[in-house]
Amino acid sequence: MSRDPLVGTTLAGYTLLDRVGEGGTATVYRAQHETHGSVALKVLREKLRQDRTAVARFVREASFGTRVTHPNVIRTIQTGEDGGLPFLVIEWAQGELLENYAKRNAPFPPDEVATVVTQIAGAVYAAHAVGIVHRDLKPDNLMYDHDSRTVKLLDFGIATATDVTPDQRLTRAGFFVGTLMYVAPEALSGEVVSPAADQYSLATMAYLFLTGTLPYTAKSPREMFTQLLSQPPIPLNKAKPELQYSAAVEAVVMKGLAKEPSARYPDVNAFAA
């Protein structure tokens, strides 16, 4: 693998020490700053820098990050452009991706599930309170420090404002965004979703943390798409015969997974309570 040409350079006063990850839109670096110390710095991927929609989405992510303030949301430190490179600086979070931790350790002890889900709900509710729907809640977008049992919501890459108008949308009508295993059924139409869609994604994660499996057994994206639209999720207590939870716990998770948004809880905090 060739060396990343940005590693070792300085961008807007931040020295890029090493590349730590790459998503669909941005490359993430660990960086050092004289005032802010260790940070994570995102740079829009080179192939997208001339794509107006990609640039607009990146700028929007930065603006959403500055609007949401909560202990379980990664703090946005600075946004801008330097030498033609759009960048976003966020706090450096301890721990690992919750996705990796869950793969090794799920199902979690019930008290750990409660701690994790409550923190995620608080972070998401803070976004909803300022008119933002995340649309891509999943373990891969959360950092988890097991020692302190602290969760941090990482980004708002495909989030949207609840008051967005049709001409302001960055996703074409009829196309859904998100991750199929965690996306709410109503999002599959590509229409603007409500905060209830994030609750569905959180309920899917709670199901995973409690059972080590997902509420659908699809083997392909096409099959998953069909199951989400036409079949009920597997009841929590039927996921694994050796794992049985109280009827109350099962009822909470399954209500969060209701196909109709109106059948879910009023908000994510009510789900996590």
Q: Residues with catalytic annotation?
A: 136
For the chain, give the longest Cα–Cα distance: 58
**Exposure of 91 by Cβ count < 10 A (0-12 exposed, 13-18 middle, 19+ buried)?**
middle
Strand, coil or helix: 255 = helix
Q: How far apart are the first and last CA of the chain?
A: 47
Q: CA 67, CA 33: separation in Å to the nearest integer?
A: 23
Q: Which residues contact 72 (CB under 8 A, 6 or more apart)?
A: 119, 120, 122, 123, 150, 151, 152, 153
Joined together, the tokens standing for residue 127 give: 């976004």
Q: Evaluate whether 173 touches 132 at the Cβ level (below 8 Å).
A: no
Beta strand 10-11 pairing with 85-91: unpaired
Instruction: Residue 88: name the closest of 100, 105, 101, 75 by CA.
Output: 75
Q: CA 159, CA 57: separation in Å to the nearest integer?
A: 9
Residue count of the chain, please give it. Answer: 273
